[in-house]
Amino acid sequence: MNKVSQEIMGMLGISLVLDQAYFKDFFEQNDSILRLNHYPPCQKPELTLGTGPHTDPTSLTILQQDQVGGLQVFADEKWHSVAHIPGAFVVNIGDTFMALTNGIYKSCLHRAVVNTETVRKSLAFFLCPKLERPVTPAAGLVNAANSRKYPDFTWAALLEFTQNHYRADMKTLVAFSKWVQEQESNNKLIPYGQCWALWAWGTNKQLLWVNKVRLEGDK
Ligand SMILES: O=C(O)CCC(=O)C(=O)O
Ligand SMILES: [Fe+2]
């Protein structure tokens, strides 16, 4: 799976007029995930969803679904079933790759539905960057026509966000970007010297609210 994903990354690099090695190098070391999904039959499938609508927060997904079928993709304002093709994988783009391409490649909205009769299984390989490697778009993909879309982040932070703060849906990357920016401003403590000066100034001016103030220009 790792090898297949590297080959696909080579082609995606070429498609963006980047070096073929660009994404291959980025993902050469990775903290990828393999997941087995098991969907028991359900008496009222219309009242439940095996996996609700979401985009994968990861970078690239290579999925093997069994012959039961149930994967659906949202395109042209409606849900389409993705047929099981023996011997074929389903490949889709995830949020992290969307950020790496500055929004040029879009992560794909999908879900998995259940049925009344049969157990369904799928096996998903999620290509992910190294946990602490900064995810930042390639320089050539940020320009006047395509300004910067998402803040820098790490896969570790997005994983933490989707495991402990937010259930992945179709707006994960937007919600995560906001969360990253909030975290950054909350963590921006005033350097001691400036804090002192503010306090002294504040005492004179009856302005004592210095805790966690984000100083303009303190980037
Ligand atoms: O089971 C499926 O076909 C899709 C599962 C899925 O979307 C996921 O694991 O992220
Ligand atoms: Fe998914």
Q: How much is the ipTM here?
A: 0.98
Residue 96, pLDDT score = 98
Catalytic residue among 35, 111, 120, 167: 120
Q: What is the pTM (predicted TM-score) of this model?
A: 0.84
* CATH code, domain carrying 152: 2.60.120.330
Q: What is the pLDDT of residue 49?
A: 72
Give me ligand 1 centre to Cα 168, in Å: 12
As for how many domains the chain has, the answer is: 1
Q: Is residue 219 part of a domain?
A: no
Q: Is residue 50 part of a domain?
A: yes
Nearest residue to 19 via CA among 27, 10, 28: 10
Q: Which two tokens stand for residue 4?
A: 């297949």
- Is 218 part of a structural domain of the chain? no
Q: Which residues, given as ranges, of the chain have pLDDT below 50?
A: 205-219
- For the Cβ of 58 lying below 6 angstroms from any atom of ligand 1, the answer is no
**Considering the domain boundaries, does residue 170 fall inside one?**
yes
Count CA atoms within 13 Å of residue 152 on its CB side. 7
The per-residue pLDDT for 200 is 57
Q: Is 64 in the pocket of ligand 1 (CB under 6 A)?
A: no
Question: Which domain does 30 fall in, by range?
Answer: 2-212
Q: What is the pLDDT of residues 129-171, one digit of tens each?
A: 999 999 999 999 999 999 999 999 999 999 999 999 999 999 9
Q: Reply yes or no on whether 120 is catalytic.
A: yes
Q: What does the pLDDT read at residue 148?
A: 96
Inside any domain, residue 152: yes
Residue 217 placed within a domain: no
CB distance 124 to ligand 1 below 6 Å: yes
Smallest CA separation from ligand 1 atom 1, residue: 122
Q: Is residue 105 part of a domain?
A: yes
